[in-house]
Structure 1
Amino acid sequence: YAKSLRDLLEGEFTRCLLTNYMYDLPWLFGECPRLNDVPVLLVHGERDRQAMAKECRAYTNVTPVAPPLPIPYGTHHTKMLVALHPDKVRVAIFTANFLSGDWNCKTQGVWYQDFDLKVVADSDDEEETPVAAAASSAAVHDFEADLVLYLSSLGHQVKLFCGELKRFDFSTARVALIPSVPGVHKGKGKQARQLHYEGRNSTQGWNAGRSIPCPLKNMKSFLHKYLRKWTPPAALHRQNAMPHIKTYSRFDPCGEKAGTLDWVIMTSSNMSKAAWGAFQKSKTQFMIRSYELGVMFLPPLLTRESSGPPIRLSVIGSKAAEASGIVAREASSARQQAAILLPLPFQFPLKTYDPKKDEPWVWDLTREDPDIFGSAYIPH
């Protein structure tokens, strides 16, 4: 249940769009040597834009893009890549910055899918042939429309890149996009749930908590009853890899259906107004500060079959997964309801904090107990 960045950027792609908040360019281009040989559009969220532009000059094939930020305190936080191949395009959306520690030491989420060229029926022999140029033969799929609309908001150079996407068939997309674009919008708000931090003996010691920015002033006492311990299923081997993943879901919490999911969102969005937006002016407008992007898993999107029982989503290691009779995503009986197991880092039933023994993580308190490296934690 792991994918490396090199896995995502495999093959002979001819052009690449990278978007992220933070970059370690030497590590990134060392991890994926192919990036040195093809045109790369690099959309970033670094606050020092001039410094980032200067650093990119060492890579003559790289064009840095700093997207417009019309509202103060916003940032570009989306984490994704789009790799163009001669016969397909790969779209990947994830929760990791382009930093070694994010990919090698933390629990992250990643979704990716390859999309083939659009096809049209030849007027003479009625055979379907791949389309190598922009095609008008197929209707624009919702996924394609949302992807192009979001990417076009990042600036002129990325909007031009979107012209390449018209060649590909996105009708097979198995997720819905969940974007945030800074600005003032009209629409409904969204509600969400939260994750937490636990354990100084992680792969990064206390420092893992620096990427879970919850100050003491925000850890209100009423929140404690909503927090749950970090206990991912043993099959994922993530107990000591602290979470940087952001997921939101509606699930069945107990009984034989514990771990059954109605829907899941995996996204770059933290639980903040900057990411998800907030109503203003008596709810007549909706303001978002930052660029974010995620994907939503829904049972109807995960299969094209119109007959048979609906697909059921379950978390690996849950009672619902055991009841489904599925091992490694394969049904053991044709009579059982088809199910898809998602490797989410949740163990059902979820474990609550003991208020007498457990202390929720906040990142601005000194921790003197030594971690796995023998170090104390000193807030920046």
Structure 2
Amino acid sequence: MSQNSLHGKWAVSSSDDDDGEELPSFKTESSAHPTGVTDSYQNTHPSVSYQSSNQIYHAPLSPDTVTEVKDEPDDSSHFPGLKPDVKAEADVKPVCPNAARDSQSNPGKYESPLSGKRKKDQDDSGWALSDSDGDDDDAVGVGNKANNPTSWRAPSPKAKKPKVEIIERPPSPYGRQYYIEETDDFFETHVPCLNDTYRFYLNKVTGLDKKYNTGALHIRDILSPLFGTLKESVQFNYCFDIPWMVEQYSPEFQDLPVLIVHGDKREAKARLLKQAQPFPHVRFCQAKLDIAFGTHHTKMMLLWYEEGFRVVITTSNLIRADWYQKTQGLWLSPLFPRLPDGSPSSDGESPTLFKKDLLEYLASYRAPELGEWIQRIREHDLSETRVYLIGSTPGRYLGDDMDRWGHLRLRKLLYDHSIPVPDDEIWPVIGQFSSIGSMGLDKTKWLAGEFQRTLTTLGRSSVRQDPPIHLVYPSVDDVRNSLEGYPAGGSLPYSIQVAEKQLWLHSYFHRWKADTTGRSQAMPHIKLYMRASPDFTKLAWFLITSANLSKAAWGNLEKNNSQVMVRSYELGVLYLPSAFDMAFFPIQKNPFPATSSSKAFPVPIDLPPQPYLKTDQPWIWNIPHNQAPDTHGNIWVPS
């Protein structure tokens, strides 16, 4: 079936709505590996071809050393053996890739992300893959056959299994030269320039001019002695590469206790536990996901030091690709000191009630493993915090509980703590995300109904607003011209099955550009929402979060608006000018090099956003993109 839209013509099988039909199979073929294919294994997921104009090679992969490193409901990955999990109530969730640290001597043919059968009971919607939900990213892990999320077929029954070998860096499915080595000065040896006003940072990106990484942070910076003498930590996330994660801690911290909070079940959980077997200091806490198709998508670190306590809320999974050539954002809290002995646990609260909200969020897990961390937070002074916490936790909420989580929580905070502005109907709302769920057959179903009402709330004004909404999502050309090339699209899992049902949504789309920051080539995995003045010089508010554009993440009203249902765990922080004794945030036009004294907010995208032209197409990850090669000479060909 052909589908015409404002942004091009797509082709998709006319039987794509049949129950039980699988997504197309995609073969991932690299143009840079100099050897042929000697072994192969079967994967239940579709794969993508990366085909050079000159020749096609298969990237090295040993079936016995494939490890799944799952990723989030906002993204997906392109590594071989990647296990996408696209569950949702019509949401296509991100996929978390598998990666391989394998023996270079045993090249193999691999198939990558996109396959699965549609669930017969799935509402309006997308495709359900295996239960290991995926985000958008690449991951790398250490594995063996027990870890292998795929089935495979050896070249002969008597073939010997290759020896599992841990190497410093996984082979790239796009060729030996795909990874660019970080320069010697990439990892700072001194305390980075910290923006003490907002404590909002971007990640360092390999391959950019050094000035565009000035003031940015890498996970190694965060987990180094530069920020405190670490004693213990908790990592909340969607996708994990445990061996890689351990390596990011400074050597003196690599044996300290780490608690992993995850949402994996059954086989995915078994694979995650298998990854951690060589690391006895790593423990696990499984988040309860009581509503179908929900995911644990929160990305947070709790860091306990000899000197105090710190919270980091980010948009990155715990896999190398998320910290390599993607645009990510994070909020780094101040170092919270310990309260004097005997202080009431209510002491150390901030004007934004951050301490109370963080404790409430952690309590929502109903997990004994988090009990000691809840007590530690009570014993610390969080009064310096100037941001509001906005979380999502799975459940159906009634009455006063409706505005505790999701977009209704955002609505309440904007109602209580923001101020009306003249001509607010022309102040645009801007959203940036890496994954898109099903919005319904027309804009009134959710986006321009309840969600728009939330995003356009400013103070206690009762005026019904209908301002412009600019949704920033990469086009095909944005992905093609990125540092990673087409493989970056593996972290943007917007499928044709969802897209063709909501062509109306694409009229809201704007190009991903970050020219003022010099980062336009680093595809976004960041998720942010904001309200700007018509001339884009001021912000009414700014939100950095793990939540993509989906009802599963933000919640949706049910039963004649008498209850709200939320499927997933998400977490973000909201910046409101009133918490900084300001009427508005001035927008910083050139955030790099970063400075700590500026009162202007470092918005990481070009303003005003540039709408799609008629020739632009939104990135769809499971249809061909072969009109032109990417920055590595490859094309994207589902087969």
TM-score by length of 2: 0.51
Change (3 A) 1:361 1:87: same
Distance in 1, Cα, partners of 2:624 & 2:382:
49
Amino acid at match of 1:43: V
2:356 to 145, 148, 157: 145
1:269 aligns with 2:547: yes
Change (3 A) 1:147 1:269: same
User: What are the residue-to-residue correspondences of 1:1-380 with 2, within 5 Å?
Assistant: 1-11=215-225, 12-33=229-250, 34-47=252-265, 48-119=268-339, 131=340, 135-136=344-345, 138=347, 140-141=349-350, 142-154=353-365, 155-186=367-398, 187-188=402-403, 189=408, 191=451, 192=455, 194-198=471-475, 199=478, 200-219=480-499, 220-234=502-516, 236-254=517-535, 258-303=536-581, 310=582, 312-317=584-589, 328=595, 330=597, 339-342=599-602, 344-355=603-614, 357-368=615-626, 369-379=628-638
Distance in 1, Cα, partners of 2:286 & 2:218:
26
Distance in 2, Cα, partners of 1:150 & 1:84:
18
Shift of 1:8: 1.4
Q: Structure 2 unaligned runs (5+)?
A: 1-214, 412-450, 456-468
Distance in 1, Cα, partners of 2:343 & 2:578:
29
Distance in 2, Cα, partners of 1:133 & 1:57:
40
Amino acid at match of 1:151: L
Shift of 1:133: 6.5
Q: Give yes or no for contact 1:231–1:345 (8 Å, CA) kept in 2.
A: no
Distance in 1, Cα, partners of 2:330 & 2:277:
29
Distance in 2, Cα, partners of 1:36 & 1:225:
48
Change (3 A) 1:329 1:53: closer
Change (3 A) 1:56 1:174: same
Shift of 1:223: 2.3
Amino acid at match of 1:147: L
Change (3 A) 1:55 1:328: closer
Distance in 1, Cα, partners of 2:377 & 2:342:
10
Q: Which moved more, 1:41-50 or 1:73-82?
A: 41-50
Q: Give yes or no for contact 1:227–1:352 (8 Å, CA) kept in 2.
A: yes
Q: Give yes or no for contact 2:539–2:586 (8 Å, CA) kept in 1.
A: yes
Shift of 1:231: 1.5
Identity of aligned residues (%): 33
Amino acid at match of 1:13: L
Q: Give yes or no for contact 2:485–2:632 (8 Å, CA) kept in 1.
A: yes
Amino acid at match of 1:28: M
Change (3 A) 1:317 1:379: farther
Shift of 1:349: 2.0
Change (3 A) 1:59 1:293: same
Q: Which moved more, 1:105-114 or 1:358-367?
A: 358-367
Q: Give yes or no for contact 1:268–1:292 (8 Å, CA) kept in 2.
A: yes
Amino acid at match of 1:238: R
Secondary structure in 2 matching 1:378: strand
Q: Which moved more, 1:261-270 or 1:133-142?
A: 133-142
Distance in 1, Cα, partners of 2:589 & 2:341:
44
1:226-258 CA deviation, whole Å, 9 max, x = no partner?
111112143x2211100000001111132xxx2
Q: Which moved more, 1:183-192 or 1:86-95?
A: 183-192
TM-score by length of 1: 0.84
Q: Which moved more, 1:268-277 or 1:136-145?
A: 136-145
Amino acid at match of 2:545: T
**Root-mean-square deviation (CA), in Å?**
2.3
